[in-house]
Structure 1
Amino acid sequence: MVAKVIIGAGIVFLLLTWWAVFDISQKDFGSVLKKALWGFTALIPFLGPVIYFATGYRKGKKVGSNS
């Protein structure tokens, strides 16, 4: 039972990491350095995606959006 919970949590955090990295790749953060820093932040195990979605998600602008 404990193994299933650990594996499930690992899968959730892996999916969050992939989502964060994909989202970062689709956004413009104003400079390559900022984009790279958010990318490295998202790759920090477990906390990285949480930090990105809590603080960095709204900072970038979608590339190609007209808004």
Structure 2
Amino acid sequence: GFTPQYEGLVWLNRCYERQGFTVIGVPTNDFGNQEPGDDAAIRFFCQSSYDVDFPIAAKT
């Protein structure tokens, strides 16, 4: 899948959040139906699988 990038995004967010930088996750279903879950399922997956602590927008 295309989810391993979350590890790097979590690292990036934690490294630079003190300087006011925030990663914002923007899930989309525009590329071959790769994000089939609803917003709650996406957030749960990101938080439980990758310890994502940055905001995740509604799926586009």
Into which bin does the TM-score normalised by the smaller protein fall? 0.3 to 0.5
Higher relative contact order structure (alpha carbons within 8 Å, sequence separation ≥ 6): 2
Q: Please report the TM-score for the alignment, with normalisation by the length of structure 1.
A: 0.30
Q: Which protein is richer in strand relative to its size?
A: 1
Q: Please report the TM-score for the alignment, with normalisation by the length of structure 2.
A: 0.32
Q: Which protein is richer in helix relative to its size?
A: 1
Larger CA Rg, structure 1 vs 2: 1
